[in-house]
Amino acid sequence: MPSLQFNGVSSGLNTKAIISVLMGGERMPLVRLQTRASQLSSRRSALGTFGTSVRELLAKVQAFTLTSAGSARSATSADLNRFTAVAGSAAVPGQYKVSVDRLATSTKATSTAALGTAISDATATGFMSALPLPGTVTAGQVGIVVDGTIVNATIGAPATTSLRGAIDAMAAAIQGQVQTTDAGATVTASIVANKIRFTVAGAAGAHDIHFGVASDTSNALTLFGLAGQRIANFGTGTATISGTTLLGVAQTTVALDTAGLTGLTSTATGVLTINGTAIAYDTTTESLNTILARINNSDAGVIASVDRTNDRIVLARKSAGATALAITDTSGTLGAALKLAPGTTNAQVIGQTAQVTIDGTRVVTSDTNTVTNAIDGVTLTLLDTTVSQTTLTVGVDSTAIAKSLNDLVTAYNGLADTIDKFTTHARGAAAGPLEGDAGVRDLALSARALLMGISSSLTGGTVRSLADLGVSSGAVGAKPGSTTRLSLDPAKLAIALANNPTGVATLLGTTGGIMTAVGDRLKTITAVDGIVTQGQASIDRELLTNTAAQTGVQVRIDLKEKGLERKFAALEVALAKLQSQQASVGAQVGSLYNNSNSRF
């Protein structure tokens, strides 16, 4: 108890200290409630950690009961460039001879001819900006390497430069350098079959021509299909060089009516139907790119694209197999204008199914290159056809099984650590938050008993329990039962897998094995009505009541303290008055005494 201090203003008492001492007893119920709340919170947290450890162990158990980890199989292809394989638990170990006869392909519809208006020598005199080129030509320079020397040709602004002027500038640059060693050679440019062609005449030797250098500032070589081309014997060996890209093509970014499509009927309400899906279009406002994007975003089941090199539309079926595309001009003529031969398969190359032969006798087909019906439990992914039989080896995946078992042991030991941490009461230390919880301890004992128990369904075999797979208490070589933790002997597991893989799979499986019972026991802990959820719910209810009680006690303490403060304040006031009166009386007595002495 704190000592009293006589230093009050009127009473000489330390009233704050007196009130604090008096309130100490009043606060004891609140302290008890706060201590209980702390204990409850610790217990709730411990239950949460315990539940997490149980769920982690359950997940490792379910690796066996749900995904058949104990029956893991491996599949190895002798030629990974031809096919790969994945084996499931149902796969039978052994060797198989696999021939990939053909791959599955999807049906493709391709325009039967180029879509745009071809450019010729006659029309090449027009400005490039007005021609239906594959893109917008940028002004600048293009470099051409002629016999090891870089020469440049200037490409003027497309709005003021004709296509003829651009290609003649390239021809002149080539000719100028060629003539430094071959004076009689001439190089001319022309347009043949909608492509650029350079022709050499009068050459006495062969010349190395390479189009494009890193410093090019114009994209003309790319648009004209010349970038990267190289001819090492231009002259006496090869007299011509041609671009690889069509010059006059359908325009994909302008309204369909001005895209250069032959046979297109202008309409605002056109409908192209692909595989039963209607694709609406407006030729007066919508571009070819817009229509292709609409097809790709629809349920038509195709991928639409533009083959810029050949100026054609390609519709590729998303799924492989020998199924034709149904293309119809329901309203308008867009399908016909795109030269997709609507209503027929004239523009289509029909896809095919994949085919594999197993062990030289059994032929299997598949609509995709992922084949699941050739070998039980095995999925083949076909990559290329084989020229001869390729060996597929299916075996027991010892590494995967060992990992799954080791994960199980680790999870169990983690649960045991958690239980020890929260239930052990060391000498001189506070009790664990779950000490005395029968449900927690019972789980530890029952889970271990179920894990290490002998399967009643497996009789007379060499594999009847996890002990037969190398799982035991303590480290490898330790006396069984000497510790509360489990360990796995990899060597013993390897022997069991080599001698009796079927027995191992059965023990770790759902039929006749031990894992189902373990999983069921763990589920009772983590279920809605399990000890974790119910325990936390009970704690939450008690904490709610505790909080309300603390609030009530605190209110009473505050009222009591304020009452004492008022009483001591009143005492100080009363003492102050008495002291004032005492001083006044003393002054009067003193005055009378002084007056009396003065007469004598």
Question: Which H, E and C letters describe 373-428, residue by residue?
Answer: EEECCEEEEECCCCCCCEEEEEEECHHHHHHHHHHHHHHHHHHHHHHHHHHCCCCC
The pair of structure tokens assigned to 485 is 């933790």
Measured between alpha carbons, how far is 461 from 317 in angstroms, rounded to an integer? 54
- Three-state DSSP class for residue 118: coil
Residue 148 DSSP code: T
Please report the pLDDT score of residue 189 as a whole number: 97
- Pick the closest to residue 306 from 257, 259, 358, 371 (CA basis): 259
Report if pTM > 0.75. Answer: no
Please report the pLDDT score of residue 84 as a whole number: 97
* DSSP codes of every residue in 429-462: SPPPTTTT-HHHHHHHHHHHHHHHSPPTT--SSS
Please report the pLDDT score of residue 6 as a whole number: 37
Query: Would residue 512 be called left, alpha or beta, if left means φ above 0 and alpha means ψ between -120 and 50 degrees?
Result: left
Please report the pLDDT score of residue 435 as a whole number: 82
pLDDT means per 10 residues, the chain with 600 residues, are 44 74 84 90 90 93 90 95 94 94 97 95 96 95 97 97 97 97 96 96 95 97 95 92 94 94 94 97 97 97 94 96 95 97 96 96 95 96 96 94 95 91 74 80 82 80 89 66 79 92 89 88 87 89 92 88 82 79 76 66
Please report the pLDDT score of residue 5 as a whole number: 38
Task: Kindly give, in sequence order, each residue whose CB lies less than 8 Å from that of residue 307, ignoring residues fewer than 6 positions away.
Answer: 110, 111, 313, 314
The pair of structure tokens assigned to 377 is 């439990």
- Burial of 115 by CB count in 10 Å (0-12 exposed, 13-18 middle, 19+ buried)? buried
- Three-state DSSP class for residue 480: coil
The pair of structure tokens assigned to 556 is 């009473």
As beta bridge partners, residue 390 has: 98
Please report the pLDDT score of residue 598 as a whole number: 61
